[in-house]
Each structure stands twice: as structure tokens, then as C-alpha cells.
Structure 1
Amino acid sequence: MDQEMADIETPTTNGSVPDILQKRNRSVTLKFEDVVYKIKTKRQGLSFSSKKVKEEEKIILKGVTGMIEPGEVLAMLGPSGSGKTTLLTALGGRLGGGKLQGTITYNGEKFSNSMKRNTGFVTQDDVLYPHLTVTETLVFTALLRLPNTFTKQDKILQAESVITQLGLTSCKDSIIGDTLLRGVSGGERKRVSIGQEMLVNPSLLFLDEPTSGLDSTKAQRIVSCLWELANKGKTVVMTIHQPSSRLYYMFHKVVLLSEGSSVYFGKGSEAMKYFSSIGFSPAVAMNPADFLLDLANGVYSDESTEDHALVKYKLKSEYTNNIEPQLKAVLHETGGFDRSQQDREFGRWPTSWCQQFCVLLRRGVKERRHQSFSGLRISQILMVAIISGLLWYKSDVSHLQDQVGLLFFVVGFWGFVPMFHAIFTFPQERMMLQKERSSGTYRLSSYFMSRMVGDLPMELVLPTIFLIITYLMAGLKRKLLSFLYTLLSLLFTVLVAQGLGLALGAFLMDQKTATTLGSVMMLSFMLAGGFYVQNVPKFIAWIKYVSISYYTFKLFVGSQYGNRDTYPCSEGHCLVKEFPSIKQMGVGLKGQIVAALALGIMLVGYRLLAYFALMRIGVTKKLG
């Protein structure tokens, strides 16, 4: 990766878009007719005594129709809750969880793999890795999303070209940052998000509120960039809440939504003329966007007695009579393209599994090393290790109960720490996974394996350091094989506990709920682990057979004591294997093998559960 970053600093060309990217680009005409979207909602009964939940159907979009051609910018206007984002998501092929009706075509065809790869989608929230620089963010995206018809150098040059095109050169070596980490500005972060989609030179670009949270100057720059893209033959569709008049007149077409229905579709410059023709003219000169939003809310005059519902009804009626018939006549004109040829050209994935794995591995390590080796986490581990070493300082076999207590403490500590750390993994990355999987960037399996492999060195270094400190300070067996056996057992349980955390986080996708459930499970495992309670009632004894703590404790005991080891007792010297806390665990080889096999099954099983749970998210709409 460092070499890739160095290559960017010394490009071998002038940074123009590679010719191959221009050749594969196709213009797209987007048509949508009578688009209806319904969702089912649950509502509690009105009676306090009734617990019956009623299921209702809510209509979000009510027969929206329109068309956008190459070289045009379509702006979707409307008040909050009017259905702008829902319509944009439906047109972008990413809408799921409800019933979508109507016809949406791209050059006369339905959404396909080729169209998915030829489409860019910029969400309202900038989903970016905070510790990566602008250059690293775009280079990694280029390596993943650009096909193998590009060389690695071509992909890097394309990232450099986008950086120059979006005016990000001055901040290309700055980290992205987030609310807790100072990085680039909001406008620069938004341009990075747009740049990620521009890397593939999409023919069709969707943007959800691209100017949200930006001042007028930064918003002007964003929209100007999008206007220039459209001027090069792209098709640009965006939602925007309250644009300034300068921005409004840059839109070629405007669709105005009110409560899920269209009340205007046409050229932005002709909207005021149309509304004047049906009896709605502003009393004073004002921003057309503000006037349109007032109308969509049913507000026409400043009179408090105005019937807002009547205004909306008249607007919808006039649209149905004056605009919709002509619009549908235009939609039914011919136009299409050879979809099968495009599908063969694009294929299912832009890069191979191995390429995806390697790029995701490098990106993941670069991003997560700051979190895994944070000063706070390192200090926590070192402090606990030193305190443990001091409390059990030189506690030899004559203090057998103390030694066994140390072993079980290590089991408990390294059951909780990796589990809690892993629980946050997938909930924190859910938005990123949805964004990149919806764009067809990589396979879920390559992402999952890169996470598992990338976490290995980062998750195993700290427990190794912990054990070295504690083992040397405490009076544990001073034999190399015993130490190595204990270390391997510890690393084994760390991976198993991490797998449990990954599974909980992936299934629940809620950090608070997953943490609570994980705490209950791990405490149950510890209580049944064989140290606190040695005579567990039969009706609940089954817990120990699924307990990570039980099997790890068994391995730890086997690493320190053998069948012939003794300890000082009232009778002189007694066998360690007869000690109450150890007798039920056993120190024989057979018990050790069973414990290792059980943990091995858990190691694989928990990760498989996490993988299958992740399959529920990512791609929100299956391709036809």
C-alpha cells in the first residue's frame, strides 16, 4: 500500500481519465412510470386493555412518473416526509423492505448487473473510514471497484484524476476524520463521497441531499461539479431540500413531491410559469425553490384561514390533467439497448476474490490499527497484567488455591475483553458494508475473511504481552513447554470469545443489546466454569458443556499440572489431581483433547453464525 501511495505522488501521465473508462461508459435515459411504494406498519390498539397489534399499510409513493435524459440534472424537491429519498432509492435499485410497484427502466431495460456497475449512489450521510486519508480512501475504492481491464497504475491514476477534478488536491494527504477526530471539512468530505462514485465514471449518478449541512458557497461548488458532469453526458438525479436560487436555476428538470404524489414535473426554469398559469403566483419576488416548497406544504398565502388540504388537492388535480398525460406520452417512445452484451462485458464482480481480499485486508489493517493499539487499550492491558502479577507474585504450588484462582481469573478476563471488543465490529461497519455491497464492490466472503485474518495479529499481540508479564511475575511452572501450552490455550480462547462477540454483533446489530446479552452469556459460562461452583445441579449442569470458560480452564489446568505433581498438604504431600478445584476438571490427555475439540467447534461455529447473519444486510435488492 505504501508503494501505491508513492505511485500517486509521481504519476506517469497527466492524470486524465483512462481511455478504457471512457469507452465502457454508456449514456443512460431513466424512465419511471406510476411508481408506488407501500410498507406495512404495526400499530397498538387504542384500548389500554387491548394488546392486539394492528397491521396497517402505508403508501409512501403514490404513482410518481418522470424521465431524465443524458446531460440533464433532475432535482427532487419537497418537504420532509414527501418521499424524495424513497423515490431516489427506488430509482437507484436499492429499495427493499416493502412493496414496489410501477415501471422503472434504464434505456428501456430493467435494473441489471451492468447497470448496477454503471451507477453511482451517494448517500446523505458520508460513510467513510475516519483514519484513512483522502488519497487512501479513493485509491482503495478504485482498486476495488474498477475492473481488471485496468492495471493497478491505471486505477491509481484514476483516483488522482478524480482528486484533481473535485479540487481535493490541497487536502489529499489529510485524514477524513469524524466527530471525535479532526479531519477534512464537511464540504471536502462530501466531495470525497462523490469522488468514490465518480471513480467508475458512472453514466447514472444518484445523490441524496448532497448539499446538506453545507454553506451556500460549498453547496454551489458541489452542484457546479455535478452540472459539469451532466454536461459531459452523465445523467444526474438528486434530492435537495431547500436550494438557493443560484442552485435552483442549475437544475434542468425538477420534480416536486407532496405527500408522495407529484405536483410538478418539468423544466426548472418553467415551473413558476406553470404555477402562475393555474392560479398560483407569488405575491413578491422570491426564490422559486422556496415558493415550490410552500406550495407542496399547501401554503399559498399568509392567511391563517387558508385550507392547505384544498391547495394540495388543486395542485395534484392540475398535475393529473395538464402534465401527466403529456409526460406519459413521451415515456412510451421507443429506446433500448443490448443488455446481454453489457452483462457479458461487466460480469458479476469487478475484481477477483483474491484481489478483493488483499485490498480489503490492507485497508482494514490500516484503519483498525489505531483502534486495536490505542493508548487506552494498551494501558488497560498492561495495568491489569502488572496488578495481577503483583497480587500473585511468586505464588508457587504451596499456594495451590491461589494459583488455580489466577488461572481462572485469566480465563474470565480474556473471555470478556475480546468478546466486548468484537461485538462492536459489525454494528460499526454496517453502513459501510451496506454501501459497498449495494454497489457490487466485493463479495461478502472476501470481506469477512479479510476481517478475520486482519484481526489475528492485532487481537493476539496484547494477550501474549499480558501472559508474559503475569506468567513471569506469578509462580507458574517455569518450563518452556508449559508456558507455550498456556499461551496457545489463551490465544485459542481469545479467538473463540472474539467469535462469540462477532456472532452477537452480527445477529443483533445493536451494540447495547449485544453487550447486555454477551455479559449474561459470559457470566453464565464463568459460573459454570468449574471454579466457583463445583457441584452444579444436574438440571443446569448442561451449561458447562457450552461454556468457553469451562474448556479453557481445563486446558489451563492441564498446562500447569500433571498426574504425578504434588502439593504440600496436612498429610504431607498430596496429588494435585486430587485437589477439589482440579479433580473435577482432570489433568489427563483425553480431557485436554476433548476441551481443544470443543473450543475448535466453537471457533468455527461462532464465525459461521456471524457470516450467515451478515448475509441479511448489504444488498437491499436482488437483481433480476
Structure 2
Amino acid sequence: MAAEKDQIRNRFSSASRIEEVELELGDVRRNGKSQEVQYLRQDACDIAWSNLVVKGKGFEKEIIKNISGYVPRGSLMAIMGSSGAGKSTLMNVLAGRNLGNLTVTGDISVNGHLIEDNMPEISAYVQQDDIFIGSMTVREQLVFHAALRMSHKKKSEQIDRVEHVIEQMGLTKCKDTVIGIPGMSKTISGGEMKRLSFATEILTDPPIIFCDEPTSGLDSYLAETVIRTLKTLSQSGTTILCTIHQPSSQVFDLFSHLLLLAQGKVAFLGPTAKTPKFFEKMGFPIPMNFNPCDHYINHIALIPGREEESYKKMDAICERYSITKTAKKNMKMVDSVSGRFASSESLPKDTQRASMFVQLRWLLWRAIISHYRDTTFAAMKVIQNLGTAIFIGLLFLRIPWDSSYDRNSAQTVTSALFVMVTSYSMCYLFLVLMAFPLQVPVIRREHYGGHYTIFAAFFAEVLAGLPFFVVMPLLYTIIIYFMCGFTPDVNAFFWCYLINVFIATACTGYGYFISALARNVKEANTIAPSLLIPLFLLSGFFIPAKQVPIYFIPFQYISWFYYGVENMVTNQWVDTSICMSLNVSDLDIPIPEDCFDFSGSLDDVTFPPVRPEYATGIPIPGDFPFPTGVPEIPSAEDLYDQLIEEIMDSNSTCIIRGERCPDSRPVQFDGNLIIEALAYEPKNFSRNNWLLVVLSVAFRVLAYGVLAYRFRKTNR
């Protein structure tokens, strides 16, 4: 028996075409008798499907039309056909992937075991698009997958397997090279990226591999290199099915079996060596120096303008194939193996899902690399935040700790607070919208592969971003707070920073939610502003909160702009008095001593009503008494106007927080008046902070819910 295995191994390694080892449907012929091949791997699998019908949900037209077939173990099968023939649909159905919009009837068996929804557990699926986390190296990509999919093995065994696959797939030279993102950053070559896709999937040495267009986008040399690699894998007993679009003659010769589809029907299924003879009998011999693949496709394609003729030819080819010996042998194999066992529990499994702790650990490791290794993106985030802060600081510049105010200072400072909140929100929001949608396809693919849960992936992503949400708001707050000359109070500075942290987590939560809804970066950046504008306008800065129409109030409840701006304004102005730095007795005004006793402050004196803009620096509807009452003295109106003019023209002021003005300094205005003018309420301060936290959590929960719904198993 050992000698027979060695003989088969040697013949596999030296054969360039499958007919050279006389393999057909998984057996060899010896002395005229059929004997089962002893494959090099013990878990080799054959695949059979019977009466397979596939329709699009809500459509009556059949994409796959009641077909049956058999793929022997150790085969390298090409699935070919013209555009719209059903190649990718059949591949997805057999692989159990991307079935959300399909209705499937019929049976699929592996080694005689009926398969329902567990094909992904016993197979690998190499998709057409090569999607990776671009900031990782080739080796890190494989180490990550080994840790998740081989968690039941020792660390040393995982590393050994990674190194073996790197060498096997010819990735040694680039194993420490950052993968990159095509079109956005420098990447490894297309061939290396395709081989990395295969390396990622074969880490666990699966018995079945599905490949969707493995040569797409590659030149002829790289295409042949990839297929030769697959050929080597199949020679060890791995069953491989590939959809492929008109390969070169050299590449086509590497396939052991061929499945031709013609508008959802089987035009040929069998060894590639038998295909030329079949078409020759149909009256379509291959011309000299002509690519066989092009020849086959030409005769089963739907030609525009000649549809009726094309359908007749396709039907004739399909009918002729159904009565060939090859077709009958296939059907015999299908009947003999399909559904022999009702359960698939004994089938070999490609992967074992790691524990939640292991998933979180490795996903967090990858997320941290993704967030902070890309120096270009990290620098862009820092420059964007600090650049915006410096611009706002210069726009509303005041000498640090200088307390000088004129009649417009209150409006200027309040505007600076509003601009700080809005610009900060935009910076953080669009950082998420530009990055997270790129990771969603990776999460989707790996989740469908059974590598980890959506919860673990999303939670790790959220945790990885927390350091940035703590450090950057501090720098942002320091720059703006001191350049704009906000209230010189340590407690106020601390709360300003903390509110910025709450705002950052809330707006990034919104970004995660939009990214979960969108299919790509462009779509995310299109959806976000449509919902963002109402939240922005309902901040209370443009329209007082109490004047918002009732039908817009629900939007105000989810507006972090409203909670953030209200708290920033409250934090700046609550219980803050703006006082004159000079003594009233120093004013050059002839004031009768029996009228004004300035042993205290001007709070002890009554004045007639004044215009609101003199009291606060900003317009307030209606009369505003400051304070009320008219002293009964001669020429009171003239005296009062002159006093107000002296006060308002003076730039020598001080800021007193939480207490009245000392000595004889009059109150220029009370900061609480600004809060009242904007219809904000200081009592909401604690509530708003908690609501910002609630919004942060709620948006993330919604994002997770959307991802979990989109990527549920029924859509796999």
C-alpha cells in the first residue's frame, strides 16, 4: 500500500495534464479494473449536487435550471460560460455564500452528507476582490487569521503553519511588507495580493476551496503562477472549484475538469481532456492555433441580434451532452453519493471559532495597528484637529487670560464656543466616515467565514479609538480655550475638555451608525450630511430651544450640537459677572453726593430701563430693566446716559465668577443674561452630559444592530 501511495504521489508531481495519470471521477484503472485513489490527505472531499434550481427572490426566471453534477476529490475544476450564464451564482450556491437575494432548491452533498448551511465551515472561499486591512504586513495578516482559526493549537504550531504557507505561496520576499490599499497607498503587487488571498484561506488546510475569478486583473504570467499553485494543492487531494473568464491555453491546460454553463444549463461537465472530442462530435472542431476556451465560449454564448439561433445551438449542445457517457457517469456518481448520510456532523471542519476573549484580543490588536500605524492617516487626523483649533483660535484671538471686554465681546466669545463645537464634530465625524466603511467589507467577509462575531469586531474597533478621543480633545481644548480667552477658571477648563470628549464620542457614534448603513465611503459621505444639517440647525444657537416647532423636537433630542453648545455656553457664562476695573468715583461725571452713595457698588443704585444691547452686548427681545427704578434727581436722563457711555467705552474690566463685583466697581453685565437670551438653562448641565453619553452608546448600539442585521447568516 505504501508503494502504491508513493507511485501516485510521483505521478501527480510529474504530470502536467490530468489524463497522464488517467484520473477520472476519482478513480484509477489498473489491469482493466477501477480502483479508488488513495489520496495524500485523509479528509479529501467530493461534491455532488442534484436537481439544483436557483431563482432571484421575487423573480420567476431561473438562473440555474435544474442541473446536477459531481466533482471528484482532488479535482481542479474550471467553471466557465458566457456573461450571464450563471457561473458566479452556481459558485455562491455551492459555497453557501451571498445567498441573501436567491431562492435555492435541490440538494448539495459532500462525501454523501447533505449540506444545508454549513458549507463555509468545511471549505474556504477565495473571492474575486482582494480585501485586507491595508496597514498590516503580509505576515501579520496570516498570524491574525491563524490565531483566530487555529486557536485550539499551540502558538508555536500556528507560527510554523504561517511560515509554511508563506513559503508555499511564494510570499517570503514580501512577508514583512505593508499590504496597502489599492488606489490609496503603496501596495504589494497584484500577484502577491492574490496569493495572499489564497494563503489566508488555506491556513487551516481546508479540503475544499472555492475561487471566484482567481486570475482577474492579473497578467498571463501571474495568472499561470496562481493556477499552478492551485494545481499543486489539488494534487494533494484538495478539491478546488474556480470560476474563470477565458484563460490562456497554458492556464486552461492546468485544470483537470471543466464545467461549461449555457444560460443556466450544463453544456459539458467532465475531464478537460474529453472536451475537444465532445465539440468535434457536435461539428465544432477546434481550429488550429485557436484558444480552446474561446472556441467553447463562442458556441455557447448568446449573440446579440442572433438570439434565436444562439438558443437553438445552446439547447442542442446541452441535449447532446446529457446523453454522453460522461454525463451518464456523472449522474451515476450523483445518485450513488447524494444524501447517503442525513447528517454532516462527521465532515472535516476547516476552522474552529475562537473564544470571545481570543477574538477581542486579536481584533483589538489589529484595530490598533489599523488606527495608528498608518502614519499618513494618523498625521492627517492630528493636523486636521490641531489645524482647526489654531484657525479658530486665530479667528477669535484674545491675549491669554486678558479679561478686557468691549460691548461685542460677549457675542464673540459665545460664537467661538459654537464654532468650536461644530467644527470639532465635523472633524471627528468625517474621520470615521473616511475610515470605517473601508473596514466593513473585511468584517463582513471574515464574519461570513466564521472567524469571529460582529460584536467582537465592532467592540474592538470602538475600544481602539478611545485613546484618540481622550488625547486629541485635550490638545484641541487647550489651544482654543486660551487663544480665545475663555473664563480663566480651572473648573471651567476641565468641564470644557470633558464636554469635548463627550461630543467626540457622540459624533463618532453617529459616524459608525452611518457607516454601518452605507455600502462604501462615497455613500456614507452622501448620507451623513442629510441627517447632520437638521441636528446642526437645532443646536439652539439659531433658534431658541423653546421656539423650535413641535414636529422638529424629536431631532433636537438626538442633537449633540444642542447638548454640547448649551453646556459650553453654560460653562462659560453661568454666574459670571463682567465688572468695571475702575472705581465709579474716578469717572469724570458731576454726580451729586446726595444722589449716589458709592460706599458699595452700583448695585445699590437704581437706574431707568436701558436697551438690551448695552446690558449684554447681544440683542434681547423686549424691555430689559438693568436695574429698574428712576431716581428722582434733576437731569437724571442726561446723567445716566453719560454714565453708561463712560462705562461702555471703558475696556478696563475684570471677570468675577460666582460672586458680585468688589469695591465700587459696577456690573457691566451678568453672564447669566446670555444664557437666558439663548433660552438655555443652567439646570440642564448635568442632564446634557449624561445625554451625550447616552447618545454615544445609543449610536454605537444602532451601528452594531445594523451590521448584525446586514450580515446575518441568511444573507451570507
> Structure 1 residue 566: deviation in Å?
4.2
Distance in 1 separating the partners of 2:342 and 2:196: 33
Q: How many residues align?
A: 580
Give the aligned partner of residue 711 of structure 2.
Answer: 618
Distance in 2 separating the partners of 1:517 and 1:203: 43
Give the aligned partner of residue 61 of structure 2.
Answer: 58
Distance in 1 separating the partners of 2:421 and 2:144: 39
In the alignment, structure 1 residue 39 sits paired with structure 2 residue 42 = no
Alpha carbons 2:205, 2:350 under 8 Å: kept:
no
Question: Are residues 536 and 311 of structure 1, via their aligned partners in 2, closer, same or farther at CA, if it must alter by over 3 Å?
Answer: same
2:563 counterpart (551, 565, 583): 551
1:119 counterpart (102, 109, 123): 123
1:176 counterpart (143, 157, 179): 179
Please give the secondary structure, in 2, of the residue aligned with 1:616: helix
Please give the secondary structure, in 2, of the residue aligned with 1:366: helix
Distance in 1 separating the partners of 2:42 and 2:367: 31
Question: Are residues 587 and 295 of structure 1, via their aligned partners in 2, closer, same or farther at CA, if it must alter by over 3 Å?
Answer: same
Give the aligned partner of residue 362 of structure 1.
Answer: 365
Alpha carbons 1:25, 1:203 under 8 Å: kept:
no
1:333 counterpart (320, 332, 336): 336
Give the aligned partner of residue 560 of structure 1.
Answer: 572
Distance in 2 separating the partners of 1:101 and 1:275: 31
Please give the secondary structure, in 1, of the residue aligned with 2:61: strand
Question: Are residues 25 and 444 of structure 1, via their aligned partners in 2, closer, same or farther at CA, if it must alter by over 3 Å?
Answer: farther
> Structure 1 residue 108: deviation in Å?
1.9
Question: Are residues 371 and 495 of structure 1, via their aligned partners in 2, closer, same or farther at CA, if it must alter by over 3 Å?
Answer: farther
Distance in 2 separating the partners of 1:364 and 1:24: 36
Give the aligned partner of residue 30 of structure 1.
Answer: 47
> Structure 1 residue 222: deviation in Å?
1.0
Give the aligned partner of residue 681 of structure 2.
Answer: 586
1:393 counterpart (389, 397, 422): 397
Distance in 2 separating the partners of 1:200 and 1:478: 62
1:82 counterpart (79, 82, 85): 85
Which whole-Å deviations, capped at 9, do the CAs of 1:442-481 have from their partners, x for residues lacking one? 0111001001101112344333222111112121122322
1:157 counterpart (155, 160, 166): 160
Give the aligned partner of residue 547 of structure 2.
Answer: 536
Distance in 1 separating the partners of 2:171 and 2:248: 24
Please give the secondary structure, in 2, of the residue aligned with 1:236: strand
Give the aligned partner of residue 515 of structure 1.
Answer: 525
Distance in 2 separating the partners of 1:320 and 1:545: 66
Alpha carbons 2:44, 2:237 under 8 Å: kept:
yes
Which whole-Å deviations, capped at 9, do the CAs of 1:376-428 have from their partners, x for residues lacking one? 33333222211211222227473222111111111111222222222345532
Please give the secondary structure, in 2, of the residue aligned with 1:183: coil
Question: Are residues 114 and 261 of structure 1, via their aligned partners in 2, closer, same or farther at CA, if it must alter by over 3 Å?
Answer: closer
Which whole-Å deviations, capped at 9, do the CAs of 1:53-74 have from their partners, x for residues lacking one? xxx4332111222111221111
Amino acid at match of 2:264: G
Alpha carbons 1:37, 1:101 under 8 Å: kept:
yes
Distance in 1 separating the partners of 2:56 and 2:302: 25
Give the aligned partner of residue 52 of structure 1.
Answer: none
Which whole-Å deviations, capped at 9, do the CAs of 1:554-581 have from their partners, x for residues lacking one? 2212332333544666454232112266
Amino acid at match of 1:597: W
Distance in 1 separating the partners of 2:177 and 2:70: 40
With 205-214 and 453-462 compared, the bigger mean Cα shift is at 453-462
Report matched runs for 1:373-452 at 5 Å: 373-394=377-398, 396=403, 398=405, 399-452=409-462
> Structure 1 residue 203: deviation in Å?
0.4
Amino acid at match of 1:458: F
Please give the secondary structure, in 2, of the residue aligned with 1:407: helix
Give the aligned partner of residue 321 of structure 2.
Answer: 319
Please give the secondary structure, in 1, of the residue aligned with 2:336: coil
> Structure 1 residue 31: deviation in Å?
0.5
With 454-463 and 70-79 compared, the bigger mean Cα shift is at 454-463
Please give the secondary structure, in 2, of the residue aligned with 1:57: coil
Give the aligned partner of residue 138 of structure 2.
Answer: 134
Amino acid at match of 2:172: T
**Aligned residues: percent identity?**
28
> Structure 1 residue 363: deviation in Å?
0.8
Distance in 2 separating the partners of 1:87 and 1:162: 29
Amino acid at match of 2:679: Q
Larger Cα Rg: Structure 1 or Structure 2?
2
> Structure 1 residue 608: deviation in Å?
1.1
Give the aligned partner of residue 701 of structure 2.
Answer: 608
Question: Are residues 25 and 374 of structure 1, via their aligned partners in 2, closer, same or farther at CA, if it must alter by over 3 Å?
Answer: farther
Alpha carbons 2:392, 2:420 under 8 Å: kept:
no
Give the aligned partner of residue 231 of structure 1.
Answer: 235
With 591-600 and 392-401 compared, the bigger mean Cα shift is at 392-401
In the alignment, structure 1 residue 599 sits paired with structure 2 residue 692 = yes
Q: TM-score, normalised by structure 2?
A: 0.76
Please give the secondary structure, in 2, of the residue aligned with 1:332: helix
1:214 counterpart (218, 221, 241): 218
Alpha carbons 2:214, 2:226 under 8 Å: kept:
yes
Alpha carbons 1:76, 1:238 under 8 Å: kept:
yes
Give the aligned partner of residue 3 of structure 1.
Answer: none
> Structure 1 residue 536: deviation in Å?
2.2
In the alignment, structure 1 residue 185 sits paired with structure 2 residue 186 = no
Q: TM-score, normalised by structure 1?
A: 0.86
In the alignment, structure 1 residue 205 sits paired with structure 2 residue 209 = yes
* Structure 1: gaps of 5 or more residues: 1-21, 42-55
Which whole-Å deviations, capped at 9, do the CAs of 1:22-74 have from their partners, x for residues lacking one? 99972211111122111146xxxxxxxxxxxxxx4332111222111221111
Please give the secondary structure, in 1, of the residue aligned with 2:130: coil
Amino acid at match of 2:50: E
With 262-271 and 133-142 compared, the bigger mean Cα shift is at 133-142
> Structure 1 residue 192: deviation in Å?
0.2
Distance in 1 separating the partners of 2:322 and 2:41: 39
Please give the secondary structure, in 1, of the residue aligned with 2:266: strand
Give the aligned partner of residue 511 of structure 2.
Answer: 501
Distance in 1 separating the partners of 2:128 and 2:142: 18
Alpha carbons 2:204, 2:351 under 8 Å: kept:
no
Distance in 1 separating the partners of 2:212 and 2:672: 67
> Structure 1 residue 145: deviation in Å?
1.8
Please give the secondary structure, in 1, of the residue aligned with 2:105: strand
2:249 counterpart (237, 245, 252): 245
Alpha carbons 1:436, 1:618 under 8 Å: kept:
no
Distance in 2 separating the partners of 1:514 and 1:76: 36
Alpha carbons 1:561, 1:587 under 8 Å: kept:
no
Question: Are residues 386 and 537 of structure 1, via their aligned partners in 2, closer, same or farther at CA, if it must alter by over 3 Å?
Answer: closer
With 82-91 and 367-376 compared, the bigger mean Cα shift is at 367-376
1:577 counterpart (651, 657, 672): 672
Alpha carbons 1:298, 1:311 under 8 Å: kept:
no
* Structure 2: gaps of 5 or more residues: 1-38, 581-613, 616-625, 627-665
Distance in 2 separating the partners of 1:103 and 1:611: 34
Amino acid at match of 2:296: L
> Structure 1 residue 83: deviation in Å?
1.0
Alpha carbons 1:139, 1:156 under 8 Å: kept:
yes
Question: Are residues 372 and 539 of structure 1, via their aligned partners in 2, closer, same or farther at CA, if it must alter by over 3 Å?
Answer: farther
Alpha carbons 1:435, 1:618 under 8 Å: kept:
no
Alpha carbons 2:81, 2:87 under 8 Å: kept:
yes
> Structure 1 residue 506: deviation in Å?
1.2
Distance in 1 separating the partners of 2:57 and 2:242: 27
Please give the secondary structure, in 2, of the residue aligned with 1:65: strand
With 94-103 and 440-449 compared, the bigger mean Cα shift is at 94-103
> Structure 1 residue 340: deviation in Å?
6.3
In the alignment, structure 1 residue 287 sits paired with structure 2 residue 291 = yes
Alpha carbons 1:39, 1:59 under 8 Å: kept:
yes
Give the aligned partner of residue 34 of structure 2.
Answer: none
Distance in 2 separating the partners of 1:347 and 1:582: 66
Give the aligned partner of residue 591 of structure 2.
Answer: none
Distance in 1 separating the partners of 2:551 and 2:307: 70
